[in-house]
Structure 1
Amino acid sequence: MLRLLQIEFIKLWNNRSSKVLITAYFVLLLCIALIATINFDFGQVHFQVAEQGIFNFPYIWHFNTYVAGWLKLFLAIVIVSMTANEYSNKTIKQNLIDGLSKWEFIYSKFLIVLSFAAISTVFVFIVSLILGLIYSDYNEISIIFSDLEYLLAYFVKLTGFFSFCLFLGMLIKRSAFALGFLVLWQILEGIFYLVIRSQSDSDTASAITRFFPLNAMSNLIKEPGSRLSAVRTVASQIGETITKDYSVHWYEIAIVLGWTALFVYWSYALLKRRDL
């Protein structure tokens, strides 16, 4: 396993574009901390984002994993490009000639997927912990380390998404087209939802489309904005009641893990059938 990881990290290290994208990704994750410095002054009214409770424990685990999830496209580009370049640069053929089996080749790519997801999760954990210790109104140990299931959901979400990108890179073999197909698939899932909803209702449409890959990954971490007390106060003043379920459910994790296994298997099946 270490040998396979070493091979992949050497490839990444020698690719300038990959280094730039990976660096940009982690720099942007650090920029979550800059949200705390945002201030608005309207006459006598002073508004600071950090004072609204977004960095309170345990809410910060939900908020930061949700925000960090939007940045995953940077690493997705790296994975798609890394996979597609194996074909354009003929390195995949050379790896197989040098004794790497087709399964070991796919396994090495999946190890990179797991590595990116794990490193990103640990990074978000550290950044969130530091921000929470600085800005949170609640610093009891039991509160600090509650709701950590959002970090698990974040790890599973990244693993599933990057595995999808790995599959697209293997399927299409051109990074630009693979990324374009990724965007197209997202649009198609939205269209399917609207079609199903037009024939039934929103609950039925949501129940069916929760099994779609990108929608399943999105459902792991729901939007956290409506959890804020300020938002709920405004909602109650206009006669609205927010009853949304923000929990991370085991079956949602199971769906994404199922898609992850399928994407890895399909990637291997594609490589196995191709004549290189």
Structure 2
Amino acid sequence: MNRLLQIEFIKLWNNRASKILILSYFILLTSIALVAAIKFDIGPIKFHLAEQGIFNFPYIWHFNTFVTALFKLFLAIVIVSMMSNEYSNKTIKQNLIDGLSKKEFILSKFLTVVVFALVSTIFVFVVSLILGLFYSDYNELSIIFSDLEFLVAFFVKLVGFFSFCLFLGILVKRSAFALGFLVLWMIFEQMLFGLLGWKFVSWETAQNIKGFLPMEAMSNLINEPFSRLKAVQSVAAQMGESFALNYAVHWYEILIVLLWSALFIYLSYAILRKRDF
């Protein structure tokens, strides 16, 4: 495994565009700390975002994993380009000539996906822990280390998304077309949901079916955290509204994404096995 990972990271590090995107991604992950500096002081109106509770334990695990997951497109570009470069530079053919089997080739890509997801998760954990220790109103250990299932969901979400990107990179070969296909698939899921609810089944059933589709399943792992904020709930209460949302991470949603991840990796291997280089 170490040999396979070493081969992949040498390729990535020698590619200037990939290096810039990877560094930009991790810089963006740390940029969430800048949210703490957002202040508005206009006459009697004083607003400090960090004082609204977004960095309170255990809420910070939910908030930070949701927000940082939005940056995953940077690594998606890296993964899709990684496969595109294999074809355009003919390194895949050279790897196979040098004795790397197609199964080992796919395994090396999947291990890279897992490492990206794992390092991202650890990175978010460390940044969130530091921010929480500085700004949280609650510092008891039992509170600090509760709700860590959001980090598990974050890791699974990244593995699923990157596995899908890897599959598209192998299927389409060209990075621009692969990313375009990714966008089209997101649109397709929404259109399918609308068509099912409009013509064939109830909207509730259509929503349940949609939850089994890959992109929606990944999205469902971490629900939006903003309506959990006391300030938002207070405003809603004054307007006669209330939130009764389920923010928990569910085991069956994790299972759905893991099954999709396994399917994407298997299909990637199946496509590669049938191709001649």
The TM tier, using the shorter chain, reads over 0.9
- Show the counterpart of 2:227: 226
- Which amino acid counterpart does residue 9 of structure 2 have in structure 1? F
Matches of residues 224-263 of structure 1 in structure 2 within 5 Å? 224-263=225-264
Matches of residues 63-78 of structure 1 in structure 2 within 5 Å? 63-78=63-78
Matches of residues 157-236 of structure 1 in structure 2 within 5 Å? 157-199=157-199, 200-236=201-237
Deviation at 1:41, TM superposition (A): 2.2
**Structure 1 residue matching 2:41: 3-state secondary structure:** strand
**Structure 1 residue matching 2:248: 3-state secondary structure:** coil
- 1:150-175 Cα deviation digits (max 9, x unpaired): 00000000000000000000000000
Inter-partner Cα distance in structure 2 for 1:266 and 1:123: 30
- 1:71-123 Cα deviation digits (max 9, x unpaired): 00000000000011101110000000000000000000000000000000000
- Show the counterpart of 2:152: 152
- Show the counterpart of 1:49: 49
Deviation at 1:51, TM superposition (A): 0.5
Deviation at 1:201, TM superposition (A): 3.8
- Show the counterpart of 1:106: 106
Question: Residues 65, 38 of structure 1: CA spacing in aligned structure 2 closer, same or farther, 3 A cutoff?
Answer: same
- Show the counterpart of 1:270: 271
- 1:217-246 Cα deviation digits (max 9, x unpaired): 000000000001111111111111210000
- Show the counterpart of 1:138: 138
Give 4+ residue runs of structure 1 displaced > 4 Å after superposition. none
Inter-partner Cα distance in structure 2 for 1:203 and 1:73: 30
- Show the counterpart of 1:24: 24
- Show the counterpart of 2:84: 84
Inter-partner Cα distance in structure 2 for 1:121 and 1:206: 29
Inter-partner Cα distance in structure 1 for 2:261 and 2:252: 14
- 1:22-77 Cα deviation digits (max 9, x unpaired): 00000011100000100112321100100000000000000000000000000000
**Structure 2 residue matching 1:47: 3-state secondary structure:** strand
- Show the counterpart of 1:11: 11
Deviation at 1:190, TM superposition (A): 1.1
Structure 1: 5+ residue stretches without partners? none
Identity of aligned residues (%): 69
- Which amino acid counterpart does residue 230 of structure 1 have in structure 2? A
Deviation at 1:193, TM superposition (A): 1.5
**Structure 2 residue matching 1:188: 3-state secondary structure:** helix
Name which of structure 1's ranges 225-234 and 150-159 shifts more when overlaid on structure 2: 225-234
Aligned residues between the structures: 276
- Show the counterpart of 1:61: 61
**Structure 1 residue matching 2:178: 3-state secondary structure:** helix
Deviation at 1:275, TM superposition (A): 1.3
Inter-partner Cα distance in structure 1 for 2:100 and 2:28: 36
- Which amino acid counterpart does residue 224 of structure 1 have in structure 2? P
Inter-partner Cα distance in structure 1 for 2:158 and 2:193: 23
Inter-partner Cα distance in structure 1 for 2:17 and 2:177: 18
**Structure 2 residue matching 1:211: 3-state secondary structure:** coil
Question: Residues 39, 202 of structure 1: CA spacing in aligned structure 2 closer, same or farther, 3 A cutoff?
Answer: farther
Inter-partner Cα distance in structure 1 for 2:132 and 2:100: 45
Tell me the TM-score normalized by structure 2.
0.98
Inter-partner Cα distance in structure 1 for 2:210 and 2:42: 43
Structure 2: 5+ residue stretches without partners? none
Please give the root-mean-square deviation of Cα atoms over the aligned residues, in Å: 0.8
Inter-partner Cα distance in structure 1 for 2:130 and 2:233: 27
